[in-house]
Amino acid sequence: MFKKQQNRVRIAKALETKRTSTPYAVSVEDLTVHYVTSKETVKAVNGISFKLPKKRTLGIVGETGAGKTTAMLSLMNMVPDPPGKIISGNIQVGGLDIRGLSQSELKRVRGKEIAMIFQDPMTSLNPVITVGDQIAESLLLHQDISKQEAMEQARGMLAKVGIDPDRAGEYPHQFSGGMRQRVGIAIALACKPSVLIADEPTSALDVTIQAQILHLMRELKEENDSSMILITHDLGVVAELCDDVAVMYAGNIVEYGTLEDVFNHTKHPYTEGLFNSLPNIHNRVSKLQPIPGLMPDPSKLPDGCAFAPRCPYATEACKAQAPYIKHFSESHLAACTAYHDEAFAIKRRETE
Amino acid sequence: MLKYIMKRILAIIPVVIAVSFIVFFIMDFVPTDAAVTALGDGATEEELEYYRDTHGLNDPLPVRYVRYMAGIFHGDLGTSYANQMPVWDLFFDKFPNTLRLALASVVVTVLLSLPLGILAAVKENTWVDTVCSTISFVGLAMPNFWLGLLLIMLFAVNLHWLPSTGAEGFKSLILPAITCGTGNMAALTRITRSSMLDVLRQDYLRTARSKGQSERNIIFGHAFRNAQIPVVTQIGIQMSTLIGGAVLTERVFAWPGVGAFMVDSIQKSDFEVVTGFVIMLAIFVSLVLLLVDVLYALLDPRIKAQYSKN
């Protein structure tokens, strides 16, 4: 037991020497992740870059299969390998180069510096371990405390997420979906991580529960001074919680900016398509305009812009060359070849 | 939970009645005269008839069945025709040996199969997986009597480390347990592997990993705890088979267990022994299966909740 503590201290010291000071909670440069099997190579993430300043919330929006979850698992170096491989890229979390850490150092970082809330609370809790023990597990891994102290803190966490602490001895099957997601939040936040990743935390929940869970997350994030990355395909959730937005398509960030940039000065045709496919509460007679077609098979991506086959503005140039990255302001960029033409502009449905 | 166990114990009674009924009637069809078995070929017809009369063998079948069943509840399973000993005593003379061998074999199987199965699952589709599976199948492919004889040749005859026969102390248990245990390895390894593979894909392992938990604790603390139900089921099945006696192993090592003794009794037409033994074994197999069900509840709180509901 004593040796374990010594080990922990030693690794923590080694980690501190590797840390560089930075204003960013997370910074990712040119991250590429592929799933390589003997049959095919699935290009899940293809060179994304973004920087998340401390205490801010970044929303990552995109369809299922756009590579959102894979990109976020990379931040914890948890892409299932095999078949997943981080091909290239620099990943910094709290000034630590994630790809340059040993397994034992990574274990110090996971749960302590960066933690994750998962999509499906029905499957992300271990069914044969009490919820109290599952929360205490994180605490015991990262703090030098006794089992009793950990259990006491776990009960405190339960109270914080709005569950009666006396239920700490119960098993996940005794809780409803919303309650289980609260437990998931308690597990993720137990060690007060500086970065919190929430992977579609509400998509498996009832609409009435969604708002509660989102508010809880925001509250606790602010209490801990954490930064948050929220993966979602719900633009309403983004508007509610996020400061910055990244729109992902086929493993690329196609538009990136502040909430104001992306929502009110939409530049990328795909982002436009996302907004157009939302129902409009002010104009109920207007028809939904879904984006035609499907996202390309990530094992057979086209040469040029991956969105070109579905894009109403696409030209031959889009299909031939990689998209042009246009910076509209310091905070706002879009990857779209059409902006070679200064006069190009997209149309939002509301403005018609 | 206690209520559930009591219910299950009571449910053993109909099982015993059904088994005894079947065995009793089958034995009645066999064209062998118990009086001849008891008195030998030299007995005269009067002596035989006198024996049948005094032992109630001339009574109609239902009468004999009811009398027999009434005896069971008093610990009376009749008397062996061949050596005039009470069947009850004979059973409890042999059964502890069988139980000992069965437990030891299961321990051998578990100690070999669980590590092999877990390792094979964690290293799925690699050469490690292949090696683990191959090892477990070697155990299945070797006939018990052959492996037993090889072990005797090596450890008893050549090295003089272990006794070749008998049931005296721990040392004499080792070779029969290995012989018996390796034969069951393949099944348990396969079950462990597939059950682990199932669990290793579960989301909650990702949650554990995201907490910073080590791979070793993820595999044993999180995954294996969830993979135990099929494993325990398989161990229960093997245990109940072994309780019936491992006839070949008992023969090779002259192990005084119930299996070999029952075979002898059948050959001697000592049907009182056969009937009594089968009924007693049915009871013990039922108890093993009950134990397995109780273990389920201890391993999985969801199952425990269900037991409490009923």
The ipTM value here is 0.84
**What is the 8-class DSSP label of residue A165?**
G
d(CA B171, nearest CA chain A) in Å: 38
Distance CA A123, CA A102 (A): 29
User: Binning pLDDT at 50, 70 and 90, where does residue B198 land?
Assistant: very high
User: Binning pLDDT at 50, 70 and 90, where does residue A197 land?
Assistant: very high
pLDDT digits (tens, 9 = 90+) for A288-330: 778 877 888 888 887 778 887 888 887 777 787 778 787 888 8
Percentage of residues of chain A with pLDDT beyond 90: 17
Q: Do A141 and B211 touch (CB under 8 A)?
A: yes
Two structure tokens written together for B199 = 């669990």
CB atoms within 10 A of CB A292: 10
According to the model, what pLDDT value does residue B204 have?
Answer: 93
In angstroms, the first-to-last Cα distance of chain A is 68
Distance CA A64, CA A84 (A): 18
Q: Do A128 and B299 touch (CB under 8 A)?
A: yes
- The three-state secondary structure class of B104 is helix
Two structure tokens written together for B259 = 């299996």
Q: Could you tell me which residues come within 8 angstroms of residue A65 by beta carbon, excluding any fewer than 6 positions away?
A: A295, A298
**More confident: B107 or A200:** B107
According to the model, what pLDDT value does residue B121 have?
Answer: 93
Residue A292 CA, chain-centre distance (Å), reads: 26
pLDDT digits (tens, 9 = 90+) for B255-310: 888 988 898 888 888 888 888 899 899 989 999 999 998 999 889 888 888 887 76
Q: Do A111 and B305 touch (CB under 8 A)?
A: no
Strand bridging mode A195-199 / A227-232: parallel
Two structure tokens written together for B182 = 């390796």
Contacts of A129 in chain B (CB under 8 A): 222, 225
Of B211, B222, B301, the CB nearest to A171: B301
According to the model, what pLDDT value does residue B310 have?
Answer: 63
Tokens 């069947």 map to which residue? B87
- Report domain extents, chain A: 253-351
d(CA B193, nearest CA chain A) in Å: 19
**Alpha-carbon distances, residue A161 vs A215, B46, B208, B220 (angstroms):** 11, 90, 20, 29
User: Binning pLDDT at 50, 70 and 90, where does residue A20 land?
Assistant: confident
Residue range B213-234: average pLDDT?
92
Asked if A336 and A326 touch (Cβ cutoff 8 Å), the reply is yes
- Measuring CA to CA, which residue among B150, B173, B176, B155 is closest to residue B247? B176
According to the model, what pLDDT value does residue B21 have?
Answer: 87
Two structure tokens written together for B122 = 């964690």
Percentage of residues of chain A with pLDDT beyond 70: 97
Which class for B102: exposed (0-12), middle (13-18), buried (19 or more C-beta within 10 A)? Answer: buried
Where b means 16+ CB within 10 Å and e means fewer, B10-30 reads eebeeebeebbeebbeebeee
Q: Do A123 and B301 touch (CB under 8 A)?
A: no
According to the model, what pLDDT value does residue A351 have?
Answer: 43
Contacts of B218 in chain A (CB under 8 A): none
Average pLDDT, chain A: 85
Contacts of A111 in chain B (CB under 8 A): 210-212
**Domains of chain B, each with CATH number or no CATH:** 2-87 (no CATH), 88-309 (1.10.3720.10)
In angstroms, the first-to-last Cα distance of chain B is 9
Asked if A244 and A257 touch (Cβ cutoff 8 Å), the reply is yes
Q: Do A124 and B207 touch (CB under 8 A)?
A: yes
**More confident: A300 or B99:** B99
How many residues are present in chain A? 352
Half-sphere exposure of B89 (CA within 13 A, CB side): 6
Two structure tokens written together for A33 = 């992740």
User: Binning pLDDT at 50, 70 and 90, where does residue A348 land?
Assistant: low
Residue range B158-177: average pLDDT?
82
Checking if the pLDDT of B142 tops 80, the result is: yes
According to the model, what pLDDT value does residue B197 have?
Answer: 93
Reduce the secondary structure of chain B to three states and give it as a string: CHHHHHHHHHHHHHHHHHHHHHHHHHHHHCCCCHHHHHHCCCCCHHHHHHHHHHCCCCCCHHHHHHHHHHHHCCCCCCECCCCCCEHHHHHHHHHHHHHHHHHHHHHHHHHHHHHHHHHHHHCCCCHHHHHHHHHHHHHHHCCHHHHHHHHHHHHHHHCCCCCCCCCCCCHHHHHHHHHHHHHCHHHHHHHHHHHHHHHHCCHHHHHHHHCCCCHHHHHHHHHHHHHHHHHHHHHHHHHHHHHCCCHHHHHHCCCCCHHHHHHHHHHCCCHHHHHHHHHHHHHHHHHHHHHHHHHHHHHCHHHHHHHHHC
Amino acid identity for residue A108 in this structure: R
Residue range A52-66: average pLDDT?
87
According to the model, what pLDDT value does residue A172 have?
Answer: 93
Contacts of A4 in chain B (CB under 8 A): none
Tokens 């309650």 map to which residue? A179
Q: What is the CA radius of gyration of chain B?
A: 24
d(CA B202, nearest CA chain A) in Å: 7
Out of A260-274, B38-52, B179-193, B230-244, pick the least confident.
B38-52
Checking if the pLDDT of A133 tops 90, the result is: yes
Of A111, A129, A173, the CB nearest to B212: A111
Average pLDDT, chain B: 87
d(CA A163, nearest CA chain B) in Å: 20
What pTM does this model have?
0.82
